[in-house]
Structure 1
Amino acid sequence: MNPAFDFESAASAMAAVVAGISGDQLAAPTPMAETDVRDLLVHVIGLTEAFRQAATKEAVGRSEAPRIGPEAELVPDWRDRVPAQLKALVEAWREPAAWAGETEAGGVTMPAEIMAVVALDELVIHGWDLAQATGQQLTVRDSDLAVLLEFLRDTPPEGTPGLFGPVVPIPDDAPVFHRVLALTGRNPA
């Protein structure tokens, strides 16, 4: 199966935001309740590797739910590790075999083509979370937003427990990125 989209743009955007994070911003709150920049970086390190392994299928049968919170350690080389892992994720999903069959990440099994969209969602939404927390901008490709809007379109108003908070009401004619954010429980304002 050929890749439905490429992760390069979303990965590069997140890498740029991570490069702009200073050490004194690690304790800054993010749009995710009770999650600071440090905790979110721990999550990003875990998810970038988990979704790379989902592409290669090496995690099938042995993936674990992500660790997040103050007890999870932020590796000292996070500034180098995040971009390296993002690059590896991009390359792994460029392989046609990555998109075929079922795969696993975070203890969840699903069709690989859906897992790829979940991975894209994680990169874009958490890239935005980090950008908001550190006073930066995140640029997202229109085609990536179209994929995410389609994926999130049927999110129930109460959100998806464990994934997204309640949908934030915004006008139907709001920019696509704002609608995507609102469907994940984030207030784009």
Structure 2
Amino acid sequence: MNDTSDPRPSVRGAAEQLSTLVAEVRPELLGAPTPCTEFDVRALLEHVVVMTGCYANLGAGETDAEAATPPPCKAGDEEWAEVYAAEAARLNEAWADGAALDRMMYLPWGELPGREALLGCLLDTVTHAWDLARALGIEDHRLDEGLAETTLGVAREIMPAERRGNPAPFEPVRPVDPEAPASRRLAAWLGRWV
């Protein structure tokens, strides 16, 4: 696993990867299902824009995730790539100052230093990139294997197999070929059928 004491490079890579995928969403695919069963493509995009905005606000100085969470995003069918790219840029800019890594932040799962809070952003961004790729029919080989491997290590650490169900938003770990791409193993770890 890569060093996650400073997750910002991995988060930047994850946001770039997701931006590339969002740019491939055509309006007729917005209603398509995703492996994250609570979201179709449009709802998934709404979620990642709001989540990215929340972490951008935390990096910019907010310390409470609830207060940092922006209102729901309702972009036009052709606007998602631009809207997500803008939030991703805000995220990277907000965390540019390393001081944010040590600032204590309040998230739904506890009080954490920024560097640990940002791992939640990494986990969400990389996992939802896989969800979106599957919904768009994009093969796993187009996803960053190193980034997925790093995120899988994070997921195993912060979301152990026994920590499933309410309040954790993940299903039980699903079976997967141990030789499968890391993005697929990550999805299975987080309860997606692969």
C-alpha RMSD over aligned residues: 2.7
Alignment map for 1:56-75 (pairs within 5 Å): 56-60=60-64, 62-63=66-67, 74-75=74-75
Unaligned 5+ runs, structure 1: none
Alignment map for 1:172-183 (pairs within 5 Å): 172-183=178-189
| SS of aligned partner of 1:103 | strand
Equivalence for 2:136: 134
For residues 39 and 113 of structure 2, the distance between their equivalents in structure 1, rounded to whole angstroms, comes to 29
Decide which of 31, 35, 59 is 1:55's aligned counterpart: 59
For residues 65 and 34 of structure 2, the distance between their equivalents in structure 1, rounded to whole angstroms, comes to 32
Equivalence for 2:121: 119
Larger mean CA deviation between 99-108 and 2-11 belongs to 99-108
Distance 1:146 1:5, change over 3 A: farther
For residues 80 and 21 of structure 1, the distance between their equivalents in structure 2, rounded to whole angstroms, comes to 12
Alignment map for 1:78-89 (pairs within 5 Å): 78-89=80-91
Unaligned 5+ runs, structure 2: none
CA contact (8 A) 2:55 2:68 kept: no
- Does residue 184 (structure 1) correspond to residue 190 (structure 2)? The answer is yes
Q: How big is the shift at 1:107? A: 8.6
Letter in 2 for 1:145: A
Q: How big is the shift at 1:88? A: 1.5
Q: Larger helix proportion, structure 1 or 2?
A: 2
Distance 1:100 1:9, change over 3 A: same
For residues 15 and 152 of structure 2, the distance between their equivalents in structure 1, rounded to whole angstroms, comes to 18
CA contact (8 A) 1:167 1:182 kept: yes
- Does residue 149 (structure 1) correspond to residue 177 (structure 2)? The answer is no
- Does residue 103 (structure 1) correspond to residue 108 (structure 2)? The answer is no
For residues 102 and 117 of structure 2, the distance between their equivalents in structure 1, rounded to whole angstroms, comes to 11
Q: How big is the shift at 1:57? A: 2.6
Q: How big is the shift at 1:83? A: 0.7
CA contact (8 A) 1:38 1:74 kept: no
Letter in 2 for 1:89: L
